[in-house]
Amino acid sequence: MPALKDFLCGGERRVPQSPLPAKNPLEPWRRSPQSGLRATWLGHSTVLLEMNGARVLTDPVWGPRASPSRFIGPKRFQPVPVAMSELPKLDLVLLSHDHYDHLDFTTMRLLRRVNVPIVTSLGVGAHLEAFGIAAERIIELDWWETHRVPGTDLMLTATPSQHFSGRGLKDGNKTLWSSWVLATQKHRVFFSGDTGLTPEYAETHARFGDFDLVMLEVGAFHPAWSGIHLGPENALAAHALLGGGPLLPIHWGTFNLALHPWDEPVETLLRLAPKHDARLLLPRLGDPIEPAHEIALETWWRGVDAQPQAAPPPELELPKEMPWPID
């Protein structure tokens, strides 16, 4: 297990020399996806999913640090490619578990006046209520429980994952963590949240069938954490248990949460994927993609470290309340 001094002094190239290339998704978002399914990776585990007209935002993190403090803790090295105020109208926010790089206090406080439902794992609602989210907006699910989003044909099911929870020294594993299946009449999507490699992914595939999009965490891994984080090699094993399908790697390219080089997860995935017959989707941040379409595989992150070192991104100045439409 890495010690505190390892995190403070160990590892090389843990952050990129310059900001990663990103696109502004606002213009594409104005048009409906031709296939009915579109995903926009916004950094780490934050993805805007569009499924048959329904919009779901996963694990939204706009805050500057994955930490309980504004001044210490893992700092974002990559800004979100779009402001929260520019997001389209959402039908649902999905929270996998309560860790700081997935459940962000700053973001939740901004969402408290926006009348959008939040689906999450069992017990996480207490955190949300403490942040000012109205209880009637919160839906908590145990594993294998399902929620239908009103006014849509979208069904969300919490499925088993292998992780842990807690935001302080005394609340370890008091709330649940989950992976998720999102399904409409036409499409099925899998979202891993955080997890180690678990054979229960085979049961998930047996229950739901093949997926049109599989989103799996690949970053912030260490050999000592193989039971709680996948990393690229175990992500490919999990992908096989889930029956394959287009693979969008998440949980990388935003925070320095481990000792490996910042680009090691995606480079390892790119090297190993052909042996596993895995179709990778590697969009730039903010680039909306439709898994049903042919998408050129670009190594857009390479060359970032060859550029002159840029100043770190400034601390994000976020509004006290969300300026987008209040229902």
Q: Which domains does the chain have, with CATH numbers?
A: 26-306 (3.60.15.10)
Q: What angle do CA 7, 226, 304 make, to 5 degrees?
A: 55
pLDDT at position 225 is: 87
Encoding tokens for residue 246?
A: 């287009």
Q: What is the pLDDT of residue 230?
A: 97
The span from the CA of 249 to the CA of 41, in Å, is 9
Ranges of residues in the chain with a pLDDT under 50 are 3-4, 7-9, 326-327
Residue 240 vs residues 23, 32, 82, 86, 278: alpha-carbon distances, Å: 31, 31, 33, 36, 8
The residue written with tokens 């044909």 in the block is 153
- For residue 305, the model assigns a pLDDT of 87
Predicted local confidence at residue 7, as pLDDT: 45
Q: pLDDT digits over 236-292, tens only?
A: 999 999 999 999 999 999 999 999 999 999 999 999 999 999 999 999 999 999 999
State the pLDDT at residue 12.
Answer: 79
Task: Provide the pLDDT for residue 316.
Answer: 52
In contact, 88 and 29? CB cutoff 8 Å: yes
Within 10 angstroms of residue 295's Cβ, the number of other Cβ atoms is 16
Q: Compute φ and ψ for 120, nearest 5 degrees.
A: -150, 180
Rounded distance between C-alpha atoms, residue 60 and residue 250, angstroms: 13
Residue 326 is predicted with a pLDDT of 44
Question: How many helices, marked H, and strands, marked E, lie in the chain?
Answer: 7, 12
Give the integer Cα–Cα distance in Å for 324 and 327.
Answer: 10
What's the whole-model pTM score? 0.93
Instruction: Indicate the pairing of strand 37-43 with strand 46-51.
Output: antiparallel
Residue 224 CA to residue 197 CA, distance in Å, equals: 13
The Cα–Cα gap between 42 and 287 comes to 8
